[in-house]
Amino acid sequence: MIDPKKIWSSNNLPSLPMVAIELLELSKDTDSEVSDYIRLVKSDPAITAKILKATNSSYAGFKNPITSIDRAVPLLGATVVTSLALSFSLSDAAHVAGPMATCFKNYWRSSVVKAAACEVIALEYNPGSESDFFLAGLLSSLGRLAMLKTIPQDYLKVIETFEESEDKLLHEVETELLGVNHIEAGLNLMISWKIPSTIQLCVRHQADPPEVINAIEPSQDLDMVRAVAVANAVGSYFCTHQKGIALQRLQLLTASFYKWSDKDLEDRLLKMKERIDLAAEVFSVDTSEIESLNDIMAEAGEQLAMLAMRAHVASTQAVVRQQIIEEEVKQLEQKNQELTEQAIRDVLTGTYNRKFFDESLRKEIARAARSATTIGVIFLDIDNFKKLNDTYGHQFGDDVLKQVSARMEDTLRTTDLLGRYGGEEFVALVSQPTKKGLTKVADRLRAAIESLKILFNNKQVPVTISVGACIAMPRRNGLEVGERLVTESDAAMYDSKRNGRNQVHVRSIIDPIQEQLTQLSNQKRFSRWLVRHGHARIEEVSQVLLDCHFPHEKIGVLAQNSGYLTAEQVEQILDLQRQSDERFGVTAIAQGFLTEEQVAYLLAMQQEDAGQVAQALAAKGCINDEILYNLMNIYKHEVDPSRPAKNAVASDSAT
């Protein structure tokens, strides 16, 4: 970070020559005469020569040669002369030698591009104001010149960082590294130069979104502000590496301001490129580094596709309509998808690979630790696989692996994850199971493979698997449980091997107290209560639960809302919990704040909202509304502990 005063107070801050300042003041006086402009221009021979050169260039468009400034000024007009004088003054400030020469050259090229872009827009929408718009575009990046002049080494780091960034805009990088950006610097310099307020307004809003710009008052300044915002994006499109981002902004701005289609924008960009080439000759700008419009558009499309894929977004805002660009985007998306699949899938079986499984296990453990839910791992090994390979050959062994993995994927729930752990070993990640449910899933997998008909030379070859599983409920910071889950499920699988294969063994590493609470809370869940009492079928409830999304409320909040604890008691439990790293409910029970029944009921409420389940069942026509209302009352009376724990008082401030 730097002190902005270092810029404003620097002796290297760019300054305008006296003739430019006086011309600017003269332009504000409505009583000024053409002779006054001629006199001022003649007082500076260098500016006189440059204005005459510009008058006789293709840029001005006069057919006959103009040999004197006395004739040039009336032909050009006072506004154009003032604009040219200011432009040549900035051009002189930007042409320097030394290690920073490239930075100054890039700044000046970008400034002239923006000026020409503004001029093209003015020619179409504000004829007669082309020179004013040209100057506004030229001055829009004035702050970059100020920073290059006053803090060259600091700003060089900004430029290097910006050129390495794919999605951060220049003013964002400036703010991040320096604490100030070129927009702010330009406004401060304009104030000291007494630049017209309309141009200052253009500079202030050049990077704003269209809805902010469209709301600007007074409306008479709006046309120029819009043009400068578009020109700023044109400058980035032609002169920076962020062509994709610039194209997106151009499409957004021009559609909002001028209702341009992509084809309309392309036509205007061609006109702007032509005008840029003419202006380059007048202002000594090297435009050889600006690529052809087709090349720029192709590069922009490629960048947009890569940015979209990296962010894993379903759709891209890059609405580049040209057929060649669309084809490039399609190819890049397809290649990225193929690379992603290759990175996470096992080549032979198509199931997830071990690396992806390990990453998924870590994420699922973190989620389970936050939400106090269970996680299960199932380890599966094809029995006598080496013998199968030796007897029938490796090609048959590969076919067995493919068929077994396909059958297991068909057998698992869509929420579960199957991966190849190595060789003939597979592993499944099961979300939020009970021990009984995990056992059922494991045995369902075993039975599915046992019934699988695998043929060799039209004869069935029996194939079975040995299965081991383990269930855990991670503690608040218990991310290390993943390694133990895999180890225990692997050991359980070897129990199945030792006991004769084609078996299932399940282990639990859930703390006994927590396991007891989990079992008790499952019994108190409204969905389980409905099924247990025969009021709903398990298939209906299961579908409803898949469609419901329950907010995860903290146990402390639920305890306050239920009147079991006061806010002060919740804080006491939280303090104790931070010391022990135990679950909130376990800590509350140990300290006598809550009973097991109360914690179990709170856990049931945390896992599912009874009211939401009832509404979903009614919406599907599973149970009549009136019956559901009565069932809700019976359920609450039956499972809700009737009396709060000792000293627990309902808090008026509970949230």
Average pLDDT over residues 171-183: 92
In terms of average pLDDT, the best of 25-39, 213-227, 483-497, 628-642 is 483-497
**What pLDDT digit, counting tens, does each position of 107-163 carry?**
888 988 998 999 999 999 999 888 889 888 988 988 888 888 888 889 899 999 998
CB 428 within 8 A of CB 408: yes
Kindly state the DSSP code that residue 292 receives in the 8-state scheme: P
Residue 431 three-state SS: strand
CB 497 within 8 A of CB 381: yes
CB 49 within 8 A of CB 89: no
Kindly state the DSSP code that residue 220 receives in the 8-state scheme: G
d(CA 13, CA 4): 12
Strand (E) or helix (H) holding 297: helix 293-310
Q: Indicate the burial class of 554 (C-beta count within 10 angstroms; 0-12, 13-18, 19 or more).
A: middle
Of how many residues is the chain composed? 655
Q: Indicate the burial class of 192 (C-beta count within 10 angstroms; 0-12, 13-18, 19 or more).
A: exposed
Cα angle 421, 426, 427; round to 5: 85
Q: What is the dotted CATH code of the domain comprising 5-16+96-290?
A: 1.10.3210.10
d(CA 318, CA 235): 18
Look up residue 187 and give its two tokens.
Answer: 């406004």
CB 227 within 8 A of CB 118: yes
pLDDT (0 to 100) of residue 226: 95
In sequence order, the 6+-apart residues with CB closer than 8 A to the CB of 270 are 293
d(CA 584, CA 574): 7
**What pLDDT digit, counting tens, does each position of 485-520 carry?**
999 999 999 999 999 999 999 999 988 888 788 888
Q: Is the dihedral of CA 176, 181, 184, 185 positive or negative?
A: positive
d(CA 628, CA 616): 11
Look up residue 367 and give its two tokens.
Answer: 């989620």
Report residue 58's pLDDT band, with 50, 70 and 90 as the boundaries: confident
List the chain domain ranges: 5-16+96-290, 303-342, 354-510, 520-639
Q: What is the dotted CATH code of the domain comprising 354-510?
A: 3.30.70.270
**Concatenated DSSP letters of 434-477:** -HHHHHHHHHHHHHHHHT---EETTEE----EEEEEEEE---TT
d(CA 309, CA 330): 11
Please, what's the b/e burial string for 294-309 (b: 16 or more CB within 10 A of its CB; e: otherwise)? eebbbbbbbbbbbbbb
Report residue 467's pLDDT band, with 50, 70 and 90 as the boundaries: very high
**Concatenated DSSP letters of 543-557:** HHHHH-------HHH
Mean pLDDT in the chain? Answer: 84
Task: Evaluate if residue 368 carries a pLDDT over 60.
Answer: yes
